[in-house]
Structure 1
Amino acid sequence: MSDLDNKLDIFGHRLTPRELRERTGDTESVAGVRQVVLDNGSERGVRAVQLRTSAGLELEVLVDRALDLGAARLRGVPFGWRSGNGFRHPGLHEHHDEGGLSWLRALDGLLVSGGLDHTLFGGDVDATAYNYPPKQTVNHGLHGRLTAIPGRLLEAGEVWDGDRCVLRVRGEVVQATSFGEHLRLTRTIEADFDGLEIRLHDVVDNLGFDPTPHMFLYHLNFGWPLVDAGTEFVAAISETPWCSDSVAEQGVSYRTLPEPQPRFVEQVHEHTLVAEGDGRHRVALVRGDETLGVEVSWDSATMPHFFEWQNLRSGQYAIGLEPSTHAVAGDAAAREDRSMTWLEHGDSRSYTTTIRVLDGAEDVRASRAAIRALGDQPD
């Protein structure tokens, strides 16, 4: 190992941790973790943890919003989407309002997770497995209850291992009811001290003693200026088994994006992706001028399905990249075709996902080449 391998990249300078500490009384002046509380409007009272790397990656972890990811920037330039909803306090959430679509009022930020026992569109499903006669069915709204549950923060800070440092946030979210599900999400979010990569590790386990359905989805949302006219979605796609009716009606490409469209109706594609040799899926969004991009990769065995969400409406302009445990037909269909994941007491499922910022043309071209090596995609 060379001496450079032991050094951090700090604003273009290669320094060992000792050399860095010789130059500053607090390494947080360069990169670090800070806990804050949002204190105005509908966000008031929401705890957040801010991560900032020396490479210029800035990220918010919303503790009281199921440890999801809020604002995300590279050297001050946003790449995570902001919808206008704000990071609403979970106490304001109306789970059953608007025919189960009130989840859309909580949709904001880089990551909004769906689950833990239900994702996709809602409705009534059988609940007799819980053996509680007054509750024969349970009613689900869009993408489940998870995002409106506050988390319990377990760790937030710098973690040094020799000359290597990661910024780490770890916490847990429990979704539970008497005579029903009792599921726990343990989430760890890491970024290298000098890195441009967000690593997400989730473990969902059943603390209850009844067989419990489990569905999970990441709604990863990207906005302007990453998303703009000419931005390209890059993936190795073997087929697209489903798309929303709006695709045929509007004819907007899933691959290369137009400018914002007034009154645009969301388009959703379910793509079947080609996995890498290590079993991971990899997709990217890149600006047409190749100045900025993001690459998302995840374990295809645990999240074999993937949706591309196009919300190109003026004032909301966004692309969602959505790894998922289940196909678009949702809860009832998964029970019927036996693809539903059932967790017994003590059972768990683990998920690993990486979000990497592509900083300039060299990163963008390398990512595109790696994905193209897996396969092409239809025009």
Structure 2
Amino acid sequence: MAELFKRTYTRRDLAAHTGQLSQFAGVRLMTLGDGIERGVRLLEFRTGSGLRFTVLIDRAMDIADCDHNGRAVGWHSPSGFRHPGLHDYEGEGGLGWFRSFSGLMVTCGLDHILFMDEDNADHYVYGPRKSVKSSLHGRVGTIPARLTGYGEHWDGDVCTLWAEGVVQQSTVFGEDLHLIRRIEATVGSDEIRLHDRVVNHGFYRTPHMYCYHINVGHPVLAEGARYVAPVRDVVWASHAGDDYRKQAVGYRTLPAPQMNFHEQVWQHDMQADADGRVTVALVNEAIGFGFEVEVLKSQFPAMYEWQNLQAGHYALGIEPSSNHVFGKPFAKARDELIWLEHGDERRYDSVFRILPDERAIADAVARIEAVAVQPADDYPAPSGHFPPIGER
């Protein structure tokens, strides 16, 4: 059944009330036509509940816009949704990635995440390729997908909106990794379901690292908004070694936009629920609006919190990751780097959920706190204990 307009509809009921489902909900293919976004294909999803989001086909099928009943959720940075043909991945000493960084979700990977790195390339068995140089957060986020399908699927009286595509990060004498992505949303729901498979299509043993940079903006993020998560330990904070309180912003409660704010990053060790899931939310109780992310800890054992509170850049990042925050050298030293042989794959199954009112926020906070109650101190001392990541 579809829950729409404060009543329940069967498939027959909806068909009787309109000539096409697109009057209420659907998936539509469009192309942007101006400025740095010109030529970028996207899919617009509308579930009929008030949830609307767009999928950038030409940007790894990442999620760009996201809003609910006209209230924005996804972050729009100054860089915009830049066409991948304009992107210079290796530019600015590896920081060129920032010039294409915008939207609710940016995928990081597929063989590298986090800060710049130069790694030995012996596993590619090609003399001239002595090393693999990686810029910030990897290459995948600006690779166009091959769209393999999209549309509506009915199972009885339940209608699922869906899209699928393949993103290939491939080169000669190097990696040949494929991201097979499926995005789903049920008509009448406030949820986005993301199902990813990363497959080694090549025949070289290849490293794999993966992270979602999920960026929530105003009005969910606002003065007094709260980060709510089942934090059992604060592992690391980027600014703790200097003056932890220098910018007067802790991990829990968010301020208004700041001037000359330097980004702050935490890594938290999260307690999973009985089903192995970790749920993290940003809630704005003052306006009854929030957003939560649900992942499997077996797939994303690490979780970062990114605060970019600079005026004009105002965003809060929820970042589930395959590895700890120190990146590839740290992972290799601890034997925690994922290596994929031909045909090997890793799966990632996540849910993004709108919390549209006070009741939904209260329910989400109660669910999270039933798993673990986060530290009450805004500035908990980082433990420095990075839990082992097994089964690599």
Query: What is the TM-score with the length of structure 1 in the denominator?
Result: 0.97
8 Å CA contact retained: 1:290, 1:364 = no
2:248 to 226, 251, 269: 251
The one-letter code sitting in structure 2 at the alignment partner of 1:15 is Y
Partner Cα distance (2:121, 2:71) in 1:
46
1:374 to 354, 357, 371: 371
The one-letter code sitting in structure 1 at the alignment partner of 2:284 is R
**Would you say 1:232 and 2:229 are equivalent positions?**
no
1:34-73 equivalences under 5 Å are 34-73=28-67
Task: Give unmatched runs, 5+ long, in structure 1.
Answer: 1-6
1:95-244 equivalences under 5 Å are 95-244=89-238
Deviation at 1:238, TM superposition (A): 1.3
Larger deviation, residues 282-291 vs 148-157: 282-291
Partner Cα distance (2:329, 2:250) in 1:
30
Query: For residue 356 of structure 2, what is the aligned residue in structure 1?
Result: 359
8 Å CA contact retained: 1:229, 1:288 = no
8 Å CA contact retained: 1:113, 1:146 = yes
Instruction: Report Cα offsets for 1:318-343 as digits up to 9, x if no partner.
Output: 10000000001101221122100000
Query: For residue 23 of structure 2, what is the aligned residue in structure 1?
Result: 29
Task: Give unmatched runs, 5+ long, in structure 2.
Answer: 378-392
Query: Residue 174 of structure 1: SS of its match in structure 2?
Result: strand
Query: For residue 282 of structure 2, what is the aligned residue in structure 1?
Result: 285
Query: For residue 76 of structure 1, what is the aligned residue in structure 2?
Result: 70
Instruction: Report Cα offsets for 1:176-213 as digits up to 9, x if no partner.
Output: 01000000000000000111000000000001111100
Partner Cα distance (2:224, 2:248) in 1:
16
The one-letter code sitting in structure 1 at the alignment partner of 2:218 is W
1:337 to 331, 334, 337: 334
Query: For residue 295 of structure 2, what is the aligned residue in structure 1?
Result: 298
8 Å CA contact retained: 2:285, 2:358 = no
Query: Residue 172 of structure 2: SS of its match in structure 1?
Result: coil
Percent identity, please.
Answer: 45
8 Å CA contact retained: 1:191, 1:197 = yes
The one-letter code sitting in structure 2 at the alignment partner of 1:319 is L
Query: Residue 104 of structure 1: SS of its match in structure 2?
Result: helix
1:12 to 3, 6, 16: 6
Partner Cα distance (2:270, 2:222) in 1:
24
The one-letter code sitting in structure 1 at the alignment partner of 2:356 is D
Instruction: Report Cα offsets for 1:4-24 as digits up to 9, x if no partner.
Output: xxx322212322111111111
8 Å CA contact retained: 1:239, 1:272 = yes
8 Å CA contact retained: 1:158, 1:167 = yes
Partner Cα distance (1:290, 1:128) in 2:
55
The one-letter code sitting in structure 2 at the alignment partner of 1:66 is A
Query: What is the TM-score with the length of structure 2 in the denominator?
Result: 0.94
Instruction: Report Cα offsets for 1:48-85 as digits up to 9, x if no partner.
Output: 00000110100000000000000000011111111121
8 Å CA contact retained: 2:150, 2:164 = yes
Query: For residue 3 of structure 1, what is the aligned residue in structure 2?
Result: none
Instruction: Report Cα offsets for 1:73-110 as digits up to 9, x if no partner.
Output: 00111111111211100011111111101111111000
Partner Cα distance (1:343, 1:94) in 2:
27
The one-letter code sitting in structure 2 at the alignment partner of 1:264 is F
8 Å CA contact retained: 1:190, 1:198 = yes
8 Å CA contact retained: 1:247, 1:267 = no
Deviation at 1:148, TM superposition (A): 1.4
Query: For residue 310 of structure 2, what is the aligned residue in structure 1?
Result: 313
The one-letter code sitting in structure 1 at the alignment partner of 2:107 is S
Query: For residue 324 of structure 1, what is the aligned residue in structure 2?
Result: 321
Q: CA RMSD in A?
A: 1.0
